[in-house]
């Protein structure tokens, strides 16, 4: 399919402009399909196609289908890049308002365009609402092709809001409506595997994606294949199969030169850098992490930029360049605080609940209006007949419809109650996830703060070493030594550290003291346990406490004896389980 798409594009460039089908919409259908397929991987190719659509629409101003195609093509080209064109929203809504009621397909396509634009802006409430409107209209228009596209978008939205069960339902329905082995088929299966991965069903995700990869390799489709390689690398990494993860990551890297999608390239370089960091190959990690940072800066994506800054801080820390590590960590903390203060992201659960309830209420209203319409028709029929038999039949029919209405309302109320219970369960899951994310964020703050203290002590120690070479008779020498002594490893640093530590690990010291020990733990031993609990290395602890690494290892040995641990027992595992 990819080669035929390229051939069609070449024909457009080499044939004269007047050689077009007599029906402009027939020609536009094929162009629109090319734009949709190119948008994910070669968006730059679509500019010429969109211009040709616009020119054709200008030649046929009364053709509402062409006017709609132009708006949809612009959104379909930017959405896979993670970009939105909010200026088009007003134009799309205006077009919906002036379209006649019989233009069902055109209205559906415009609602789908709004949904894609909102989803790219992370406005999932509006995206979900517009997607449902589009789905209803496409179903009324009996258009399974665009029904499947709409359900694919709904599945992606549900993944973003962590509603994985509902995402699976929409994606499975979409898969039933697409042609086997088509571009849309592979896209849907890839998204299904992603949903299984986020639902923590890793083995199922791998089983879904492996056959797709084999088929795409035979087709030599570099675009979908790159995304599949990236996803498989993440799946195997989560499954602790590091070798397979690295293999697929390298395969994705080899194909990346053919892609024109900064969003996919950022994920590729970010994952590659994180993989090298995990493997301890810090020198190799610098290049992809800096490339990811460059893409995030170019696209002005502060969320992506924060990830790159954090990885750079870790890299410089591992290579012993504490000044650079401290600088990037401080930039990361500042950017994280800015994201927290100015975040425009909506509450995903509220989006999900409000749209689903609104949809249920709409269906209830439609059912009531339908029953009322039938009752009116029966009333009109009664006015035109005087026969007792017809009157008796009318009474019976009204009674039957009333019972049916009551039964329908009861069923809908029951379904609405079940939806509310399901929504409450989703809310609890979301709250638990957010609590975990908050703890992880605070843990990163403690690590960054400890690095700051470590860097400060290291610098002060260097100054102290220099000061020792100043003649002791000079008054400045004593003054410098006193300042350094008062600022290295101060109690104020420990108190600030304890404030953050207690928020993340409440009750840690109480549980530790309750453990069986050979004697009461000292203040210094408790401090060591706290540093071990957050995962600090021996070198970092030595810098914070202004002692040698050998001294830290000796304290570690004595602490293990005091906690009455066997020689083969792990002190780190013991403290992590407190």
DSSP of 533-569: HTT--HHHHHHHHTS-HHHHHHHHHHHHHHTT--TTS
For residue 79, is it within any domain? no
pLDDT of amino acid 155: 94
Q: Which residues pair with 42 in a beta bridge?
A: 260
Q: Is 101 left (phi over 0), alpha (psi -120 to 50) or beta?
A: alpha
pLDDT of amino acid 149: 92
Cβ atoms 533, 561 nearer than 8 A: no
Residue 439 shares a structural domain with residue 519? no
The DSSP string of 19-86 is ---SSHHHHHHHHHHHHHHHHTTBGGGHHHHHHHHHHHHHH-TT-HHHHHHHHHHHHHHHGGGT---T
pLDDT of amino acid 354: 43
What are 537's two structure tokens? 């290395």
Work out the pLDDT band at 206, boundaries 50, 70, 90.
very high
- 359 by Cβ neighbours in 10 Å (0-12 / 13-18 / 19+) ranks as middle
Residue 421 shares a structural domain with residue 507? no
For residue 411, is it within any domain? yes
In this predicted model, what pLDDT tens digit does every residue of 515-549 receive, in sequence order? Answer: 877 678 888 888 889 888 888 888 888 888 888 89
Residue 336 has pLDDT above 60, yes or no: yes
For residue 463, is it within any domain? no
Average pLDDT over residues 77-91: 84
Tell me the HSE value of 333 on the side-chain side, using a 13 A CA sphere: 17
What does the angle CA 176 – CA 178 – CA 183 come to, to the nearest 5 degrees? 135
Domain CATH number, residue 499:
1.10.10.10
Tell which of 221, 245, 260 closes a domain.
Answer: 260
In this predicted model, what pLDDT tens digit does every residue of 348-403 receive, in sequence order? Answer: 433 443 444 445 445 434 544 555 556 666 666 667 666 777 767 777 777 777 78
**Long-range contacts, 496-499 (Cβ 8 Å, 24+):** 496/449, 497/446, 497/449, 497/450, 497/453, 497/530, 498/530
The DSSP string of 329-384 is HHHHHHHHHHHHHH-----HHHHHHHHHHHHHHHHHHHHHHHHHHHHHHHHHHHHT
> How many whole angstroms separate alpha carbon 527 and alpha carbon 522?
9
What does the angle CA 246 – CA 209 – CA 1 come to, to the nearest 5 degrees? 110
Residue 545 shares a structural domain with residue 494? yes
Tell which of 427, 454, 481 closes a domain.
Answer: 454
Secondary structure (3-state) at 505: coil
Cβ atoms 569, 560 nearer than 8 A: yes
Q: What is the largest CA-CA distance in the chain?
A: 127
Cβ atoms 381, 396 nearer than 8 A: no
Residue 428 shares a structural domain with residue 504? no
> How many whole angstroms separate alpha carbon 323 and alpha carbon 107?
57
The dihedral sign for the CA sequence 289, 295, 299, 300: positive
Can you give the length of the chain in residues?
A: 578
In this predicted model, what pLDDT tens digit does every residue of 270-311 receive, in sequence order? Answer: 888 888 888 888 888 888 888 888 888 887 777 778 888 888
Work out the pLDDT band at 196, boundaries 50, 70, 90.
very high
Dihedral of the alpha carbons of 233, 239, 242, 243, in degrees to the nearest 10: -80
For residue 234, is it within any domain? yes
For residue 99, is it within any domain? no
For residue 532, is it within any domain? yes
Q: How many domains does the chain have?
A: 3
pLDDT of amino acid 265: 82
**Would you tell me how many other CB atoms lie within 10 Å of the CB of residue 357?**
14
Residue 447 shares a structural domain with residue 501? no
Work out the pLDDT band at 1, boundaries 50, 70, 90.
very low
DSSP class of residue 470 equals S
Interaxial angle between packed helices 144-160 and 164-177, expressed in degrees from 0 to 180 and rounded to the nearest 10: 160
Residue carrying structure tokens 């949904």:
115
Residue 447 shares a structural domain with residue 503? no
- What domain range is 415 assigned to? 348-454
For residue 432, is it within any domain? yes
DSSP class of residue 260 equals B
Q: Give rounded-to-5 percent helix, strand, coil for the chain.
A: 80, 0, 20
Residue 413 shares a structural domain with residue 493? no
Average pLDDT over residues 164-190: 92
Cβ atoms 256, 222 nearer than 8 A: no
pLDDT of amino acid 204: 94
Residue 447 shares a structural domain with residue 353? yes
In this predicted model, what pLDDT tens digit does every residue of 401-453 receive, in sequence order? Answer: 778 877 787 877 777 777 777 777 777 777 666 666 665 556 556 655 665 56
Domain CATH number, residue 220:
1.25.40
Tell which of 454, 475, 506 closes a domain.
Answer: 454
In terms of pLDDT, which residue wins out, 335 or 242? 242
The 10 Å CB-count burial string (b at 16+, else e) for 54-65 is bebbeeeeebbb
For residue 225, is it within any domain? yes
Interaxial angle between packed helices 64-78 and 104-120, expressed in degrees from 0 to 180 and rounded to the nearest 10: 20
């Amino acid at each position: 399919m990819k080669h035929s798409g390229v051939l069609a594009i070449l024909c457009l460039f080499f044939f004269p402009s007047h050689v077009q089908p007599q029906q402009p919409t027939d020609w536009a259908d094929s162009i629109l399909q090319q734009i949709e397929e190119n948008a994910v991987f070669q968006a730059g190719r679509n500019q010429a196609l969109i211009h040709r659509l616009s020119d054709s629409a200008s030649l046929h101003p009364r053709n509402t289908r062409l006017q709609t195609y132009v708006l949809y093509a612009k959104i379909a080209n930017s959405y896979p890049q993670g970009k939105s064109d909010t200026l088009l929203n007003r134009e799309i809504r205006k077009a919906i308002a002036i379209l006649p009621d019989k233009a069902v397909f055109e209205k559906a396509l415009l609602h789908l365009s709004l949904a894609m634009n909102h989803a790219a802006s992370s406005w999932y409430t509006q995206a979900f609402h517009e997607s449902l409107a589009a789905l209803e209209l496409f179903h009324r228009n009996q258009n399974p092709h665009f029904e499947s596209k709409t359900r694919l978008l709904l599945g992606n939205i549900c993944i973003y809001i962590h509603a994985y069960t509902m995402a699976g339902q929409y994606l499975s329905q979409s898969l039933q409506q697409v042609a086997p082995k088509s571009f849309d088929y592979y896209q849907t299966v890839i998204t299904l595997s992603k949903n299984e991965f986020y639902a923590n069903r890793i083995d199922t995700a791998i089983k879904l994606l492996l056959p797709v990869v084999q088929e795409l390799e035979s087709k030599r489709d570099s675009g979908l294949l790159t995304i599949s390689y990236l996803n498989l690398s993440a799946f195997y990494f989560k499954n602790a199969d590091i070798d397979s993860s690295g293999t697929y990551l390298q395969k994705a890297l080899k194909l990346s030169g053919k892609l024109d999608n900064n969003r996919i390239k950022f994920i590729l370089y970010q994952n590659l850098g994180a993989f090298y960091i995990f493997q301890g190959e810090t020198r190799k990690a610098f290049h992809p992490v800096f490339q990811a940072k460059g893409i995030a800066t170019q696209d002005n994506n502060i969320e992506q930029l924060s990830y790159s800054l954090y990885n750079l801080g870790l890299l410089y820390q591992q290579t012993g360049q504490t000044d650079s590590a401290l600088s990037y960590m401080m930039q990361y903390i500042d950017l994280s605080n800015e994201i927290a203060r100015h975040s425009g992201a909506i509450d995903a659960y509220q989006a999900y609940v409000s749209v689903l309830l609104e949809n249920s209420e709409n269906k209830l209203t439609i059912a009531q209006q339908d029953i009322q319409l039938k009752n009116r028709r029966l009333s009109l029929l009664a006015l035109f007949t005087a026969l007792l038999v017809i009157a008796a039949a009318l009474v019976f029919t009204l009674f039957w419809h009333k019972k049916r209405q009551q039964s329908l309302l009861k069923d809908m109320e029951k379904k609405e109650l079940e939806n509310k219970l399901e929504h409450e369960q989703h809310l609890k899951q979301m709250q638990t996830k957010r609590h975990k994310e908050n703890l992880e964020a605070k843990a990163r703050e403690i690590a960054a703060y400890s690095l700051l203290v470590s860097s400060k002590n290291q610098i002060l120690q260097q100054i102290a070493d220099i000061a020792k070479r100043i003649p002791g008779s000079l008054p400045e020498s004593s003054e410098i030594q006193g300042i350094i002594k008062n600022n290295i490893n101060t109690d104020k640093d420990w108190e600030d550290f304890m404030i953050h530590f207690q928020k993340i690990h409440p009750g840690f010291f109480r549980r530790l003291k309750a453990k069986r020990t050979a004697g009461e733990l000292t203040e210094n031993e408790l401090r060591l346990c706290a540093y071990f609990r957050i995962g600090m290395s021996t070198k970092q602890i030595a810098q914070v406490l202004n002692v040698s690494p050998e001294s830290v290892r000796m304290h570690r040995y004595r602490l293990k004896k005091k906690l009455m641990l066997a020689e083969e027992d792990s002190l780190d595992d013991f403290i992590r389980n407190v």
